[in-house]
Amino acid sequence: MATANTLEALDQRAIEILRANDKGGYTIPTAGLYPYQWNWDSAFAAFGFGTFDLPRAWAEVETLFKGQWDNGMVPHILFHQVDEGYFPGPDVWGCTGPIPSSGISQPPVAAIFIRKIWEWDKDAGHDHIAALYPKLLNWHRWFMTWRRERALDDAQGPGAICITHPWEAGRDNAPDWDDAMAGITPEGVAPYTRRDTSHVDADMRPTKYDYDRYIWLVQLGRETGWDEAEILAKSPFRVADPTMTFTLLRAHRDLLAMGQSLGQDVTEIESWIPDLEQAASTLWNPELACYDSRNARTGKFAGSVSNASFLCWLGGLNDDRMLAQFDRVMDAVPYGLASYDPESEKFDGRRYWRGPIWAVVNTLIGLGLEEQGHGDRARRLRNSTQDLIAEKGFAEYFDPTDGAPAGGDSFTWTAAVWLAWIRGGKV
């Protein structure tokens, strides 16, 4: 247990990390490994900055939306200044948006944190949300248009939200995608040199098998000129994902609240919510008794109890069926909520999204638990995350079996959620 003094010292350290990773209007996740602006990392960074510097919080999300494409898509990476230490860079993606970028998106958590920052000071935030609202609306509309699971049978009703690349879910190498990844034969991948494994141990990163397929999918998107209709028609990889579905459902609710406050016509958003609630319910895998991912090309469930399964509460579903899963996964390892079921043979405590603990996903789960009336579980999750960071530092992720810090260090989003969720706000 950390003392009050230690907690205050950690608050200061978290602020220092955010300041050090600040490149002027945007924040990099960590120096070396991730030298650009990432989409959902920035939304978390804004949440953290909002606890001690509101203008800087607004700047973070406003810079992100400067990269928005004409079709509404907000890219997962903005390459503000080319850095040779990262692969694949802008030349590999070959995109033509307003800022050099990747051609895929990331979980749309921005509206969730924009609303929170606005609520911390509504007068200061009014003009910011007025300017961001139409941009968020266009982005959400892009997901509703281009990322639905085209039901194999229309009678199945509205489709959940899909990813077209594992990086889009923000859970790069989760076992959720294994089946769809196996459907790719990565022929014609141009020779490349990975840069991630020069910053971090290879056993904490995705394998070469995965990387070849990541790059193959980037090449496919590039060949289509990032044309969504063509990608939909051609790509073997399309997976309905709880991360996307639950975060978008939640983000719609926050956008609705902001739209109403701005006196906008919100009928379109109002129609999306019940539609997506119904779609989210199709991710329930009865055999697993859990929300799961599904290969949209075959209709086959992944069989994954992952940390994304527990985002149902954040999405606004008051689903008590997930409580027993939560307790089981929490009890299975000493250090908290693993990103993948520790009792599964696919669990790997150090390898990125196949087991390690991610403080940011814990934050989303904790917020959802609290709102749905499960304060005891929210506290348990928050306390375990607090102890882990206090003991092991502001790492990118942690091994749930021994708490070992893994991946990059001095990590922006870990520092941000320390301030905004674990420590509960204003510093």
34 binds ligand GLC (CB under 6 A): yes
Strands of 302-417 (E only): list them: 397-398, 405-406
Between CA 106 and CA 62 the distance in angstroms is: 16
Catalytic residue among 149, 396, 399, 409: 396
Instruction: Tell me: cis bond preceding 334? Omega within 30 of 0 counts.
Output: no
Tell me whether residue 172 or residue 292 sits nearer to ligand GLC (CB atom).
172
- The residue range among 34-42, 112-120, 127-135, 302-310 that interacts with ligand GLC, by the rule CB under 6 A, is 34-42
70 catalytically annotated: no
Backbone angles phi, psi at 366, to 5 degrees: -65, -40
125 binds ligand GLC (CB under 6 A): no
41 binds ligand GLC (CB under 6 A): yes
CB of 369 to ligand GLC, least distance (A): 21
Residue 280 near residue 247, CB atoms below 8 Å: no
Tell me whether residue 372 or residue 414 sits nearer to ligand GLC (CB atom).
414
| Residue window 197-226: x/- pattern of binding to ligand GLC, with contact defined by CB under 6 A | ------------------------------
- Dihedral sign, CA of 409, 413, 419, 422? negative
396 catalytically annotated: yes
Write out the binding residues for ligand GLC, residues 13-32 only, by CB under 6 A.
Answer: 29
CB of 41 to ligand GLC, least distance (A): 5
**In a 3-state reduction of DSSP, which class is residue 397?**
strand
CB of 319 to ligand GLC, least distance (A): 24
User: In whole angstroms, what separates CA 346 from the centre of its chain?
Assistant: 21
72 binds ligand GLC (CB under 6 A): no
**In a 3-state reduction of DSSP, which class is residue 206?**
coil
CB of 212 to ligand GLC, least distance (A): 17
Strands of 178-320 (E only): list them: 239-240, 284-285, 290-291, 294-295, 300-301
Residue 219 near residue 188, CB atoms below 8 Å: yes
Residue 93 tokens read as: 């993606």
Catalytic residue among 172, 178, 241, 399: 172
Between CA 50 and CA 121 the distance in angstroms is: 10
Report which residue type is found at 294. Answer: R
Helix/strand number for the chain, H first, E second: 16, 10
Q: Which residues, 6+ apart, have CB-to-CB distance to 165 below 8 Å?
A: 104, 214, 217, 218, 221, 237
CB of 172 to ligand GLC, least distance (A): 4
CB of 404 to ligand GLC, least distance (A): 18
Helix (H) or strand (E) holding 93: helix 90-93
- The residue range among 38-46, 117-125, 225-233, 377-385 that interacts with ligand GLC, by the rule CB under 6 A, is 38-46
Binding ligand GLC (rule: CB under 6 A), the pick from 10, 35, 40, 99 is 40
Tell me whether residue 51 or residue 173 sits nearer to ligand GLC (CB atom).
173
Write out the binding residues for ligand GLC, residues 255-314 only, by CB under 6 A.
Answer: none
Tell me whether residue 259 or residue 407 sits nearer to ligand GLC (CB atom).
407
- The residue range among 18-26, 35-43, 317-325, 414-422 that interacts with ligand GLC, by the rule CB under 6 A, is 35-43
- Residues in binding contact with ligand GLC, number by CB under 6 A: 7
Between CA 2 and CA 427 the distance in angstroms is: 17
Tell me whether residue 97 or residue 206 sits nearer to ligand GLC (CB atom).
206
Write out the binding residues for ligand GLC, residues 157-196 only, by CB under 6 A.
Answer: 170, 172
- The residue range among 7-15, 37-45, 226-234, 370-378 that interacts with ligand GLC, by the rule CB under 6 A, is 37-45
Residue 395 near residue 338, CB atoms below 8 Å: no
Between CA 362 and CA 187 the distance in angstroms is: 37
CB of 273 to ligand GLC, least distance (A): 26
Tell me whether residue 339 or residue 372 sits nearer to ligand GLC (CB atom).
339
Q: Which residues, 6+ apart, have CB-to-CB distance to 31 below 8 Å?
A: 20, 21, 410
Instruction: Name the nearest CA neighbour of 213 among 276, 255, 166.
Output: 166
CB of 32 to ligand GLC, least distance (A): 12
Tell me whether residue 198 or residue 383 sits nearer to ligand GLC (CB atom).
198
Strands of 141-205 (E only): list them: 162-163
The DSSP result for 132-176, as a single string, is: HHHHHHHHHHHHHHHSB---SSGGG-S--BEESSGGGGT-TT-GG
Tell me whether residue 170 or residue 221 sits nearer to ligand GLC (CB atom).
170
38 binds ligand GLC (CB under 6 A): yes
Catalytic annotation, residues: 172, 396
Report the interface residues with ligand GLC, using CB under 6 A: 29, 34, 38, 40-41, 170, 172
